[in-house]
Amino acid sequence: LGRSGVLAARLRGGWVGAGAFKALLQTPGPVDVIHPQKRFYAGGANSVRGFAQGRLGPRVLTVDPVRLLSTVPQGAGCDPTELVDLSCSVVSMDEGRFVPRPTGGTRVLEANLELRFPLGLSFEWATFTDIGQVWGGYEGVDLSNLEVTPGVGVRYLSPVGPIRIDLAYRFGGGEPLAVITSRVRMFDPSVHEEDDRIRIDDQVISYVQTQELVALNPSVIFGETSPFSFRRLQLHISIGQAF
């Protein structure tokens, strides 16, 4: 472009499937057999910059069962029996108590367009728009679900490469996400140690935490739901151009 401007573009797409290995499954019904390390993830400084690293696409919320049983502020205050039968409601919990974790998908589509112009001798500024989405194995590819995240940035042209600061905004608001926690069971002295018992608010209860992961019902709306929110701004600091 004129005056040493640069127009950069990038397109990424992908699909991964189980192929012939799916026939080896003996479990009826839909099962995602793609290893997590083989799935697609999106979001981050070199992807769709309106999202943190890996936060675009299928996700779940994880929470420690101790927080679900706690009655202190920001706890769910559930009864242990509600965790046993998975009826513990977490809709009133502060979303900061959850840990969102990407689960990856089997289809991905990303597109990036960035305009860069010099800003003095050692700096350049950029404006960009990133578009993308990741779909799970049993979701239909719906292009209306593509996330569009515009933004601006500045680069310092250092000897080791451009030191980049990008600020992007995502328009998408809250979304329903499944809540995953560890199952709890009644304390059994013939199986468990006394130290295995769960301690809640300085009180030991007759339940223990297991390694089995379970999903609570219902799911919760995670993320800011207002039309505009500064919380949907995403800052990235990295070295090198985005693509």
- For 178, other C-beta atoms within 10 Å of its C-beta total 17
What pLDDT is stored for residue 71 in this prediction? Answer: 65
Domain assignments of the chain as residue spans, ordered by start: 1-19+36-59+103-169+226-238, 64-97+175-222
Region 211-215 average pLDDT: 91
Scored b (16 or more CB within 10 A) or e, 56-71 reads bbbbbbebebbbbbbe
Dihedral over Cα of 89, 91, 95, 99: its sign: positive
User: 127: pLDDT confidence band, cut at 50, 70 and 90?
Assistant: very high
Q: Residue 240: its pLDDT value, please?
A: 95
Q: What is the pLDDT of residues 201-210, one digit of tens each?
A: 778 888 999 9
pTM value is 0.81
Topology given in CATH for the domain delimited by 1-19+36-59+103-169+226-238: Porin (2.40.160)
Give me the pLDDT at residue 75, please: 61
Q: What is the mean pLDDT of residues 65-85?
A: 78
Residues 99, 218, 86, 59, CA torsion sign? negative
What is the rounded end-to-end Cα distance, in angstroms, of the chain?
Answer: 18
Looking at residue 112, what is its pLDDT?
A: 98
Question: Residue 94 — very low, low, confident or very high, per pLDDT cuts 50/70/90?
Answer: confident
Cα–Cα distance, 98 to 189 (Å, whole number): 32
pLDDT value for 199 = 86
pLDDT per residue as tens digits for the range 10-46: 999 999 986 655 555 555 555 556 888 889 999 999 9
